[in-house]
Amino acid sequence: MSQARTDGVCFGFHVTSDVGLRYLRPGSDGDPLEITASKRTSEPTGPAALDWPLRGGDGDRARLYVRDHGFSFRTEREGWFHIDPAAARIEVPGDADPVRRETRLWGVPAVLCFLHRGDMSLHASAVEVDGSALLFAAPGRFGKTTMAGAFVAAGHRLVAEDISCCRPSPDPLVFPGPAVLRVRRDVFAELDLTGTGEVAVERDRVHLSIEDSRRGEGAPLPIRGIVFLRPGAEGGPLERVDPVAAIPDLWALSWKLPVEEDLERCFRGTSALAATVPIWNLPRSDRFDALKGVVDRVLETCLAVA
């Protein structure tokens, strides 16, 4: 199992921290980002700017508040995160469970920081193939992590397992995210995920840390293609998506704040990705015996495009 670090790279940031983080990649390149345990005693009041239920069905909710210098983000189980994107600083709850705290850290708090930098967040897993990245985009529980796990089992490097940090222009790039794979229990039982170490087991997920020898560094990779995961029967060919038709799906899968400036940024980013990156639809089911064939079919199709 990889040991906790206090510095490393994630999402194009060189992260320094006074709390241990398990999923950083080695290296020091990138924009600075400081992670520190919060000592605040006062919290924001009033209505949240965003309020939504978290996945898992246990009633937990996420709330995002706008402050004078950034944001405050809260979940019931982990507590308060305070984010100052301009200062490149995130305060995390010092007494929260370390595994769950880091999971939340690399979600909304980190996304707010790289959105401020001008990048975009796509709800997608990503893997490295021949020095470039393939992204698998879909809503939650559509198989993004399972597809990433199947590629990891086939010997490819994990770049992102749920959130992809993309720089749409001038040349589309993706920055490697945290070196963690959170797979369903049945996926964990079926796939040979050599090169990972078990960190935690939850009701429906096993948290796996990618071993140091398979993490790679955090340098950005060119985006070779984006694959939309669609429900459907296995075995069919990947269908190329018209760039204009891809924009609504990319928009729906991109995280954005409900303010005009951020909506404009997101639209520019999704339009740039659609115009420059090949995009396919992939119908697939949850049959584990078909996964290797799906990996082979994706590689054959996507690598054939120059």
pTM of the model: 0.94
Q: Is the dihedral of CA 110, 212, 216, 253 positive or negative?
A: negative
Instruction: Name 258's Cβ contacts closer than 8 Å, sequence gap at least 6.
Output: 49, 50
Which tokens in the block code for residue 99? 């595994």
Q: Could you identify the residue written with the tokens 């470039």?
A: 132
Give the C-alpha separation, 16 to 157, whole Å.
24
Over the stretch 7-30, which tens digit does the pLDDT of each residue have? 999 999 999 999 999 999 999 999
Closest CA to 111 of 98, 99, 100, 124: 124
User: Using 50, 70 and 90 to split pLDDT, how confident is the model at 233?
Assistant: low
For the chain, domains (ranges, CATH) are 5-302 (3.40.50.300)
Over the stretch 151-176, which tens digit does the pLDDT of each residue have? 999 999 999 999 999 999 899 999 99
Instruction: Name 45's Cβ contacts closer than 8 Å, sequence gap at least 6.
Output: none
DSSP letter string, 81-127: EEEETTTTEEEE-TTS-HHHHHHHHTTHHHHHHHHHTT-EEEEEEEE
Over the stretch 254-263, which tens digit does the pLDDT of each residue have? 999 989 999 9
Over the stretch 216-226, which tens digit does the pLDDT of each residue have? 999 999 999 99
Is residue 56 pLDDT above 80, yes or no? no
Give the C-alpha separation, 105 to 2, whole Å.
18
Closest CA to 164 of 114, 204, 116: 114
Give the C-alpha separation, 27 to 29, whole Å.
6
Is residue 3 pLDDT above 70, yes or no? no
How far CA 233 is from CA of 137, 236, 283, 293, in Å, comes to 18, 7, 6, 13
Which tokens in the block code for residue 196? 């990972």
